[in-house]
Amino acid sequence: MSERTPVLIVGAGLAGLSTAVFLGLHGTPSLVVERHPSTSTHPKARGQQHDAMEALGYAGLAEAMVEASPRDQGFLLRIAESASGPVFREILHDTFIPLDHLTPARSADASQASAERLLAERARELGAEIRFSTALESFEQDESGVRAVLSDATGTRSVHADYLVGADGHRSPVRERLGIGTHGRGALWHSVLWLIRADLTPVVGDRQVLYNLQNPQLSGGMGVLVSTDHPDQFVAGVGYDPERETLADFPEERALEQIRLVLGTPDVAVEILSADTTTAGMYVADRFSSGRVHLVGDAAHTMPPQGGMGGNVALMDGFYLAWKLAAVLRGEAGPGLLDSHDVERRPVGELIAKNQYMNAIVRSMPHLKQPDDAPPIEDPGMLLFGYRHNGAIVPEPDDEGELLEEPTAPTGRPGSRAPHVRLTTSDGEISTIDLFGREFVLLTESEAWAEAAEQLAADLGIRLRAHRLGGEVAGDWTGKYGVTADGAVLVRPDRFIAWRSKGAGSPADLEKALRAVLDR
């Protein structure tokens, strides 16, 4: 007998677990299957950017991520010959870039291992079932749903799901079975990585560090040194040629030689705890959706680590997809809402993947730069808060659908992120951002608009809440949202503006907008 689940998620990494968490937040259970025996236990990506921390705050996880971060939030990011110097360029020193003019959220620096563990715990609390050591063997889909065959130590079983989410990594069997190709710059480099134990206080102090190294003495001419959750453990890496070498070509003597070149000192005692190889590249799926199957995370976009956005984009894919899946499954939206997943997330994924590729060229492999390569965007505010979603919105007549706009000069246009505005209430100061995350929100100072929203929520059977600003909830919000005191702004659960009336209007205008966005 086949099991049933609203959403089957394949992969329990950042993207898959994020999807499960936010589905649960919207009241939709899911089944997550992961072929590995647990969440990640190896040092990988780390850090949660401000936009991800906003989302994690809605799920009750922001403080947990801060607690899981190293106590010393100092961070050093350098391009150098070795960890001991000389330094070619310092990108960050001692502190993360403040973005409190754009968001009430702070960043965190939890490792991927800690983040996945916290996401898994929260997903279960919100109704998800997670099965490790369980593989997806096959699936097929039709108009009624997706039928999948899973295997574990006990044998095989079938699962019927309304939707399937492929969060199964850069090789993504789900993507391959759908026949979805990829495009991009391809493989950029191959690395040998060693997890080492060493007292590097004389070299790096007590800060979290990330060194991108350029040194012809290093294998492949490049290297990296990265902190882990443990103050005496680091990841050191160098390049290698997989057509001529394997991990076996780096025995302990050669490995220690390369590690000491990474450190820039022959005097530090080093213990090698483990070794592995990895490949960094840039690939973007040609489509993020096919019928009832949707791709998130590395299955949708794979990128080099330089820039620190890969894990955050994966996590945010789940945040942006989950509310749409939940709305369709609740019957509040038509299936056409899910068409916007590809329309909205593929341009953003491609933008950030290209940017990380250029970061990798600049920081680690400048000899690969092509004459027509644009320099990377280094403004984190632009990358985190400046992109637009041009799918499930009601565009305005003069909107040309640009992908980016300057977040420090918000327009309030549909498709852009709802700006952060500080509001004063009887209970203290909050942000407009605090009002979003769980349902559609109508921001207005007008009683007529608020009453219309309440009536439409009941008539259409949707989750819509009006927040009347002004009076006891005071703040200069209208300018940043591009409306007058008689206007209204409809904000999606993911903080993106869906529609606005710059001035007074009618309930019919709001209903038409809601029906358009929700495919009703």
- Helix 50-58 vs helix 310-329: angle between axes, to the nearest 10 degrees? 40
Q: Contact, 456 vs 514, CB < 8 A?
A: yes
CA dist 327 and 424 (Å) reads 31
Residues in the chain: 520
- Domain ranges for the chain, please list them: 3-183+282-365, 386-518
Cα 228 to Cα 495: distance, rounded to the nearest angstrom: 32
Task: Give the ranges where 304-446 is alpha helix by DSSP (H).
Answer: 310-329, 340-363, 380-385
Check if CATH label 1.20.120.1750 holds for domain 386-518: no
Q: What angle do CA 36, 39, 44 make, to 5 degrees?
A: 105
User: Residues of 456-484 as b/e, b for ≥16 C-beta within 10 angstroms?
Assistant: bbeeeebbbebbbbeeebebebbebbbbe
Reported in sequence order, the residue ranges of 215-270 that DSSP labels E, i.e. its strands, are: 222-227, 233-239
Amino acid at residue number 494: D
Most distant CA pair in the chain, distance:
76
Residue 421 structure tokens: 């505005």
- Residue 12 is predicted with a pLDDT of 97
| Structure tokens belonging to residue 321 | 């997809």
Q: Are 3 and 159 in contact (CB under 8 A)?
A: yes
Backbone angles phi, psi at 418, to 5 degrees: -60, 125
Check residue 307 and give its pLDDT. Answer: 80
Minimal CA–CA distance to 163: which of 150, 144, 135, 138?
144
Q: State the distance between the two ends of the chain, measured CA to CA, in whole angstroms.
A: 34
Q: Which helix (H) or strand (E) holds 48?
A: strand 46-48
Nearest alpha-carbon partner for 318 in 167, 187, 204, 453: 167
Helices (H) and strands (E) in the chain, counts: 13, 24
d(CA 244, CA 322): 44
How far apart CA 7 and CA 294 sit, in angstroms, is 11
**Strand 155-166 relative to strand 145-152: parallel, antiparallel, unpaired?**
antiparallel
Identify the pLDDT of residue 73: 53
Q: What is the pLDDT along the chain (520 residues), one digit of tens a residue?
A: 689 999 999 999 999 999 999 999 999 999 999 999 999 877 777 889 999 999 999 999 999 999 998 865 567 888 899 999 899 988 765 445 679 999 999 988 898 999 999 999 999 999 999 999 999 999 999 999 999 999 999 999 999 999 999 999 999 999 999 999 999 988 888 999 999 999 999 888 888 888 989 999 999 999 999 988 888 999 999 999 999 999 999 999 999 999 999 999 988 999 999 999 988 889 999 999 999 999 999 999 999 888 888 999 999 999 999 999 999 999 999 999 999 999 999 999 999 999 999 988 888 778 788 888 889 998 889 999 999 999 999 999 999 999 999 999 999 999 999 999 999 988 889 999 999 999 999 999 999 999 999 999 999 999 999 999 987 677 889 999 999 999 999 999 999 999 999 999 999 999 999 999 999 9
Q: Tell me whether strands 440-444 and 464-468 are parallel, antiparallel or unpaired.
A: parallel
Per-residue model confidence (pLDDT) at position 174: 98
CATH of domain 3-183+282-365: 3.50.50.60
In degrees rounded to 5, what are phi and psi of residue 64? Answer: -65, -35
Cα–Cα distances (Å) from 66 to 176, 208, 383, in that order, read 37, 14, 22
Two tokens at 230? 């443990």
Cβ–Cβ < 8 Å for 240, 250: yes
Q: Enter the tokens of residue 458.
A: 């009941």
Distance CA 314, CA 331 (A): 27
Cα–Cα distance between 111 and 311 in angstroms, integer?
10
